[in-house]
Amino acid sequence: MSNAAETRLWHPFANMADVKQKPFLVEKADGVWIFDEGGRRYLDGTAGLWYCNVGHGRTEIADAVSRQLRTLDTYFVFNDFTNTPAELLARRLSEFAPMESAKIFLTSGGGESIDTAAKLARLYWAKRGQPERIHILSRRHSYHGTNGFGTSMAGIETNRTGFGALLPDTTRVAHDDADDLRATIERIGAGEIAAFFAEPVIGAGGVRPPEPGYLEAAAKICEEHGILFIADSVIGGFGRLGSWFGVERWGLRPDMITFAKGVTSGYLPLGGVAISGAVADVFWEAPGNPFPHGPTYSGHPTVAAAALANLDILEREQLLQRSGELEKPLYDMLCKVAEHPAVDHVRGGTGLLGALELAPALVEQDKTVVAKAQRAVREHGAVVRPLASALAVSPPLIITEEEIGLLGDSIVAGLDAITTR
């Protein structure tokens, strides 16, 4: 591709007026590195969009995909059809899921998984004779994708603004205050509420680990009021928070868990919902109760084969444990970088992800400073993610401590560049 021609590709969330003349072309990737057209390498400090947990260039996944494409390329799992990779994947995930007798519904990504979980929660209550339980609670700052329910539940206001009327019966609560959750439930009435969605560590909303005790208290409040507790582990799963489903470190046992991203390390698009036996039984144990919902690519065999190969790598290389070991070195690096005058504070320390909030004075002075900082860091050799007024990192779980140091050096060099220009 030549940069001379204007792009025709509409980039998500991008200001195309700025991007169209000069998109940044990624040509190839290997391990923790991506390479541009000229062969220059950049440390993938974000693992793509928080997904490339096993790192790039795993031939084992490529081979599994290739083998599957040559055997059963694609087929659906509607009605009584099934295929071996989808079955194996569901079995393996159900064994990992921190819930009794989990069932697995597969989708093509996180947003579809959110809509699946929200619809299932509402239908579950209707089947249980409580059709008025349709309200959905989520947290401020939360991100649950860009589908219908996810847009309506969004805790990032700009992501739900400008589209006219969204789904009614969604309410946001404070992201870190269990008392606000309780008060909101009492105000709306528990009998009207289907579910509460929560990311264990808020990701796109700025990387916000929970206050100590918050998630446990929120789960307990939901249980007391019979409200389904749905963990959105789209970012948190598959090692990002040191465990399979991102909630185990708090001892949570959600009614449902949405996942995506790290389940294939992003090699192919896959998401899903783990559903506790108690919820699933309403459909699985009573004849004549289908869930009238299903994306075309649910249970896609080639995508499932990619996931199985990815899970093999995560297990064999003990990357969940490794993520836990790297949590502190990553946080220490960010704290050191935060001594830079361009940085106000760090958020992180829980899982292999973190954010540097830029100094308010800088952001007030120039609304584009975060985008500029992200580009300057890239010019100095690393990919970081602009999130509101912060820069986020979430490296592949295979990153070394030395590479964490390199990531820190690139960030400092980028921040120097924007503050001394």
Count CB-CB contacts under 10 A for residue 142: 24
Burial pattern 68-103, b for ≥16 Cβ within 10 A else e, equals beeeeeeebbeeeeebebbeebbebbbebbbbeebb
The C-alpha atoms of residue 303 and residue 269 are separated, in whole angstroms, by 7
Closest approach, Cβ 146 to ligand PMP, in A, equals 6
Backbone angles phi, psi at 193, to 5 degrees: -105, 130
Shortest CB 275 distance to ligand PMP, Å: 17
Backbone dihedral region for residue 162 (phi beyond 0: left; psi -120 to 50: alpha; all else: beta): left
Decide whether 233 or 410 has the Cβ nearer to ligand PMP. Answer: 233
Cβ proximity to ligand PMP: between 234 and 412 the closer is 234
Q: How far is the CB of 204 from ligand PMP (least distance, A)?
A: 5
- Return the number of the residue (34 or 234) whose C-beta is nearest ligand PMP: 234
User: Which among 237, 3, 212 has a CA at the least distance from the CA of 98?
Assistant: 237
Interface ranges with ligand PMP (CB under 6 A): 49, 109-111, 114, 143-145, 199, 203-204, 232, 234-235, 260, 271
Between residues 49 and 413, which has the closer beta carbon with respect to ligand PMP? Answer: 49
146 by Cβ neighbours in 10 Å (0-12 / 13-18 / 19+) ranks as: middle
Q: Which residue is nearest to ligand PMP (CB)?
A: 110
Q: How far is the CB of 13 from ligand PMP (least distance, A)?
A: 10
- Min. distance of Cβ 147 from ligand PMP in angstroms? 7
Nearest approach, Cβ of 144 to ligand PMP (angstroms)? Answer: 5
Which C-beta is closer to ligand PMP: that of 235 or that of 377?
235
Nearer to ligand PMP, 111 or 414 (CB): 111
Structure tokens at 167: 């789904």
CB nearer to ligand PMP: give 46 or 410: 46
Q: Are the C-beta atoms of 258 and 97 separated by less than 8 Å?
A: no
Positive or negative torsion for Cα 148, 153, 159, 163 = positive
In the complex, minimum distance from the CB of residue 114 to ligand PMP, in angstroms, rounded to a whole number: 6
DSSP code string of 37-94: TT--EEEETTHHHHT-TT-B--HHHHHHHHHHHHH------STT---HHHHHHHHHHH
